């Protein structure tokens, strides 16, 4: 039997953003739609959505942008019927990069919102 963590990873637990943006694209909405279906089918699970940014910009700016990214993901899940009491958001700004490097490939991987089971 697959664990909830593995299931979430399989359906897609991370969505990515364009530079300086908190707008969800079609791929992101697809991942979030699958996340919402999973969460609605497992009503005892709670999640934290972590907002992240690339290294460019000030710490304060990136914390605010990370918050907007996490909130965009949360709002999409709420629109799909997930109970707001089950979702927390946090911004890590540029403090927790998933990929080191000062190039577009690294920056693209770091501009994200990650859904983590609590």
- In this prediction, residues 88-107 reach a mean pLDDT of 96
- CATH number of the domain that 78 lies in? 3.30.1330.60
Burial of 113 (0-12, 13-18, 19+ CB in 10 A): buried
The count of structural domains within the chain is: 1
Number of residues that make up the chain: 118
User: Six-digit token pair at 57?
Assistant: 């910009």
Could you give the 3-state DSSP secondary structure of residue 82? Answer: coil
What does pTM read for this prediction? 0.96
Could you give the 3-state DSSP secondary structure of residue 95? Answer: coil
Residue 1's pLDDT band, with cuts at 50, 70 and 90, is confident
- Identify the pLDDT of residue 37: 98
Say how far apart CA 74 and CA 115 lie, in whole Å.
9
Say how far apart CA 96 and CA 56 lie, in whole Å.
13
Residue 50 lies in domain: 4-117
Span 62-85, pLDDT tens digits: 999 999 999 999 999 999 999 999
């Amino acid at each position: 039997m697959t664990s909830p963590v593995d299931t979430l990873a399989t359906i897609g637990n991370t969505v990515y953003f364009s530079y300086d943006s908190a707008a969800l694209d079609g791929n992101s909405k697809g991942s979030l739609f699958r996340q919402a279906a999973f969460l609605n089918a497992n009503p005892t699970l709670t999640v934290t959505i972590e907002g992240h940014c690339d290294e460019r910009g000030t710490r304060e700016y990136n914390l605010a942008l990370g918050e907007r990214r996490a909130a965009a993901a949360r709002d999409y899940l709420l629109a799909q019927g997930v109970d707001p009491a089950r979702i927390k958001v946090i911004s890590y700004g540029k403090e927790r990069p998933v990929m080191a490097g000062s190039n577009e490939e690294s920056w693209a991987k770091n501009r994200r919102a990650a859904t983590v089971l609590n």
